[in-house]
Amino acid sequence: MHAPASELPVIAADILARVRGQNPRVHCITNAVAQTITANVLLAAGAVPSMTLAVDEVGQFVRGASALLVNLGTFDAERRAATVVAIDAAAEHGHPWVLDPVFINRSEPRAAYARELVTRMPKAIRLNRAEYTALAGTAADESAIASYARGRNTIIGLTGATDLVADGARLAAIANGHPLMTKVTALGCAESALVATCLAVERDAWQATAAALLIMGIAGETAAERARGPGSFAVEILDALHALDRGTLMAQARVS
């Protein structure tokens, strides 16, 4: 039986506890701007990041990891070569992987590449509305994303003022988060890495994706209470993520 959206706060708390208990390693192929904040978000959540892009060792790193992130934010030859090897290794060893098709709305070659990667069966795709439209060719309404997710056997995690998480059958709407999250570079990229982290400890990809977006949104709200601007916000969200407890998750979640 599928858990309804109302159970997501409990599920998210359970998943976070498992991340902290198991410290899964998550391999991240991500853009240069996002690498440091992504590593720090994963460490704050309890995971262990690895980031190498070298083709002759990325396969070995992915094999020993529990999940993989592929972020298209810097679309260079080295990362494209690493991506092929990494996805092959993930497929071979049954590791889940997440696609973050950053800025595909600004570059047609990048969008075409993202569409090709979708055929390699990512467990989840995290993106914003403009990126979804560039990927799917339709507006990002609820029935469209559900249909897209069903057709590709994946999860769509669509972030915005309200985040939507669809797997074709289930849909969660998460109203947590804060506008300062868009004023710190690459927090969305780091959030995709957190989706990969949750997938490392939870096989239900819809639950894992929703848990990651909920955890990040609530950490963002806690951070915003303490921050005086985007500089301190970037610091506080790491502290908040590291300290996030079950009670805060349950009390703050706005999920439907």
Residues in contact with its own copies by CB under 8 A are: 31-33, 35-37, 39-40, 43-44, 49-54, 56-57, 60-61, 64, 73-78, 103, 106-110, 182-186, 227-232, 234-243
Let me know: does 158 contact 101? Beta carbons within 8 Å: no
CA 172, distance to chain mean position in Å, is 15
From the CB of 168, what's the least distance to its own copies, in Å?
32
Query: Which helix (H) or strand (E) segment is 99 a member of?
Result: strand 97-100
Coil, strand, or helix at residue 55? helix
Minimum distance from CB of 233 to its own copies (Å)?
A: 8
Residues 46, 20: Cα–Cα separation, whole Å: 5
Is the Cβ–Cβ distance between 124 and 209 less than 8 Å? yes
Rounded CA-CA distance 198/67 in Å is 9
Closest approach of its own copies to the CB of residue 19, in Å: 13
Closer CB to its own copies, 76 or 142, in the complex: 76
Distances (CA, A) of 79 to 28, 76, 107, 112: 11, 6, 16, 16
CA dihedral in degrees (92, 96, 102, 107; nearest 10)? 30
**Measured from the CB atom, is 72 or 214 closer to its own copies?**
72
Asked if 96 and 42 count as a contact pair (C-beta separation under 8 A), the reply is no
Q: Smallest gap, in angstroms, from Cβ of residue 82 to its own copies?
A: 9
Question: What does the alpha-carbon distance between residue 2 and residue 172 come to, in Å, rounded to a whole number?
Answer: 12
Q: Residue 217 CB, nearest distance to its own copies (Å)?
A: 17
**Closer residue to its own copies, CB minimum distance, 49 or 157:** 49
The residue (of 186 and 198) whose beta carbon lies closer to its own copies is 186
Of residues 5 and 223, the one with the C-beta less far from its own copies: 223
Measured from the CB atom, the residue of 3 and 55 that comes closer to its own copies is 55
Which of residues 147 and 230 has its CB atom nearest to its own copies in the complex? 230
Residue type, position 197, single letter: T
Give the closest residue to 132 by CA, choosing from 110, 97, 104. Answer: 104
Q: Quote the least distance from Cβ 146 to its own copies, whole Å.
A: 30
CA atoms within 13 A on the CB side of 31: 20
Closest distance to its own copies from the beta carbon of 115 (Å): 15
